[in-house]
Structure 1
Amino acid sequence: MYHVVIGVDDNEQRAVACARAAADLPGDVSDKRVTIIHSFTDNPTGASATQIGSVREAMELLEERGVDVKVTESSGDPADQILDVAESEGADLVVVAGRKRSPTGKALFGSVTQSVILNADRPVMVAGDTDD
C-alpha cells in the first residue's frame, strides 16, 4: 500500500487534476490511500476544509474511484503544511498542481509547488496545468 498526500488550494480544476493523478497511479485501488490537505491562509468564516469546493471535488473523485481518502486542514504557509503532513503521515508521494506563471511572477509571488519540490524529502508529482 502506498500513501499519497495531495495539497489542494481553492481552484477546483487543479484539485481534480491532482486527485485524478493520484487515482490513476499504477496498482490496485485497494493499495492506495490519499490524504488531502487544505491550508487556510485566511478563514474569516471559520469554514472547515470539507466545505471548500475544491476539496469536495477532489474527495468525490477519489471516493468514486474507490480510493480510501481523508481530509485534513491547517493554517499557515501552504508549502510547509503540505510537507509537514507528508512527513507526519509517512507519505510515499506528494501531489501538487502546477500552473502557468512567468518567471517574474514566480519571483515576485513565490510558488507553493516550487517550494514543495525544492524542500520535499520524498517524491513529488506535479499534476495538470491551468491558465489561472
Structure 2
Amino acid sequence: MEHALVVIDDTDTHRALLAEAGRLARDSDAELTVLSWITPGQVEQTAANLEAIEQVEQTSYSEPDHEATASQFARQFAMDVFESVDDSIEFTAEGIVVEADERADEIIAAADRLGCDHVFIVGRRRSPTGKALFGDVAQRILLNFDGTVTLRMD
C-alpha cells in the first residue's frame, strides 16, 4: 500500500474503519487521504438555511465552499478518531460534491486523481434484489476500482 483513500461518514462503523486504515497506513508508511462527500441536495439545504438566517438577522453571508466544508468535516472527523488511536497519524482531507447515484464513480475518480492504490469503504447489507434494482456503491467500487478495496460492513 502506497496511498490509501478512506471514505467516511459520521457513524461508528466509519470511525472503526478509519482507525484501522490509519494504523495500517502508519505501519506501512503509506500516504492517507480521508474523503467526505456532500450531495447537491445538502448544498441546496445549506443555501436555504443561510438565506433564512440572512433574512432574520438582516445580514449577508458569503457563498460557502461546499467541497471545503466536506473536506473540513473529513479533517475534523479524522482528528477526533486519531486522537484516540495515535495522534501522530498523518493524513490529508478531501471533500467532494456528488449526486448520490454517482457516488461510486466519483469516489473511484477521486482515488485515481490522488494516485491511491487502496480504498477503504463501508458497505450496507442489502438483499440481492435491492442491489440489482438500486445498485450498490460498495459493489461498484469493488468491481471497478483498479486497486485493493477493503470493505467493512455496517
Change in 2 beyond 3 A, CA 1:26/1:78: closer
Structure 2: which 5+ residue stretches go unaligned?
Answer: 47-63
Deviation at 1:38, TM superposition (A): 1.7
Q: Deviations over 1:104-130 (max 9, x none)?
A: 222222211111111101111112x22
SS of the residue corresponding to residue 151 of structure 2 reads: strand
Corresponding position of 1:67: 89
| Match for residue 36 of structure 2 among 33, 38, 41 | 38
Comparing 16-25 and 85-94, the one that deviates more:
16-25
Q: Deviations over 1:34-60 (max 9, x none)?
A: 1111222232215511564x7643442
Q: Per residue, is there more strand in 1 or in 2?
A: 1
Equivalent AA in structure 1 for residue 3 of structure 2: H
Equivalent AA in structure 2 for residue 57 of structure 1: F
Corresponding position of 2:138: 113
Corresponding position of 1:90: 115
Structure 1 position 49 matched with structure 2 position 70 = yes
Deviation at 1:73, TM superposition (A): 1.2
Change in 2 beyond 3 A, CA 1:105/1:58: farther
Q: Does the CA contact (< 8 Å) of 1:8 and 1:55 recur in 2?
A: no
**Runs (4+) of structure 1 moved beyond 6 Å?**
none
* TM-score in terms of structure 1 length: 0.78
Q: Per residue, is there more helix in 1 or in 2?
A: 2
Deviation at 1:26, TM superposition (A): 7.1
Q: Does the CA contact (< 8 Å) of 1:14 and 1:97 recur in 2?
A: yes
Deviation at 1:12, TM superposition (A): 1.4
Structure 1 position 17 matched with structure 2 position 39 = no
Equivalent-residue separation in structure 1 for 2:106 and 2:140 (angstroms): 11
Q: Give the alignment's Cα RMSD to 1 decimal.
A: 2.5
Equivalent AA in structure 1 for residue 107 of structure 2: I
SS of the residue corresponding to residue 33 of structure 2 reads: strand
SS of the residue corresponding to residue 91 of structure 2 reads: strand
Q: Deviations over 1:18-44 (max 9, x none)?
A: 202212327637x13211112222322
